[in-house]
Chain A
Amino acid sequence: KNEVEQSPQNLTAQEGEFITINCSYSVGISALHWLQQHPGGGIVSLFMLSSGKKKHGRLIATINIQEKHSSLHITASHPRDSAVYICAVRRGSNYKLTFGKGTLLTVNP
């Protein structure tokens, strides 16, 4: 079983829709990251969370430590939001990130 599971694997939405991507993890963590990977391959860090909620523009990330679950929400989605969204966790004092398989989001105009 993967330590980090994301759902859905693929998501297609119409422009303007509210998007939710989920991440569940099976281990104790010290931080959870949400990252965005565009078709060209580059990876951009969106959020790093250890508790609660963070907001940046139209993006909101939440985490529930007790339930070992995090969500990434996109409000008023736009075609430029189309990308792979990746959840990654850091455990304890480890340096490395363990990644989920990603969610491919396609937003149609």
Chain B
Amino acid sequence: EPEVTQTPSHQVTQMGQEVILRCVPISNHLYFYWYRQILGQKVEFLVSFYNNEISEKSEIFDDQFSVERPDGSNFTLKIRSTKLEDSAMYFCASSYTEVDTQYFGPGTRLTVL
């Protein structure tokens, strides 16, 4: 069964460093999403992406964040200058249409020291 994959599973970085989180969505899906979950808190929407552009973003998704689909398979989330409060689990998801079920990846745990 096709699945969403994410790498790395765990990333440790120093405050102020740039990180890139990678996702490979399900191959025929057209809509891509990033969510994050701070430890002990609920999952929060960051951004959605369709047709090579951002379709919606939350107030969390400020200028420090960017997304890209650099080729036909990868979908990346870049955090330019990480802060301590960026420590969280980051989930990528994809769906075939905007109204279909979203399939989630296993997550990347980001730890900012």
Contacts and interface: CB of A to CB of B under 8 A. Distances in A.
Nearest to A101: B42
Interface in A33-55: 33, 35, 40-45, 48
A44 B56 CA distance: 23
B42 A95 contact: no
Q: Is the interface of B mostly helix, strand, loop or mixed?
A: strand
Nearest to B106: A42
Contacts of A93: 98
Contact of A97 (B37, B45, B89, B109): B45
Contacts of A30: 99
B68 interface: no
The contact size tier of chain A is 20 to 34
Interface string A7-23: 00000000000000000
Contacts of B104: 35, 42-45
A31 B99 contact: yes
B101 A48 contact: yes
A95 B31 contact: yes
B107 A33 contact: no
Nearest to A44: B104
B102 to A, nearest CB: 6
A56 interface: no
A52 B69 CA distance: 37
A101 B103 CA distance: 19
A99 B46 CA distance: 12
Instruction: Give the most central of A88, A93, A95, A99: most B CB within 10 Å.
Output: A95
Contacts of B37: 41
B48 interface: yes
10 tightest Cβ-Cβ pairs between the two chains A and B: A96-B45, A95-B48, A43-B104, A99-B43, A95-B56, A42-B106, A101-B42, A99-B42, A48-B101, A45-B101
Interface of B: 31, 33, 35, 37, 41-45, 48, 50, 55-56, 58, 89, 91, 98-107, 109
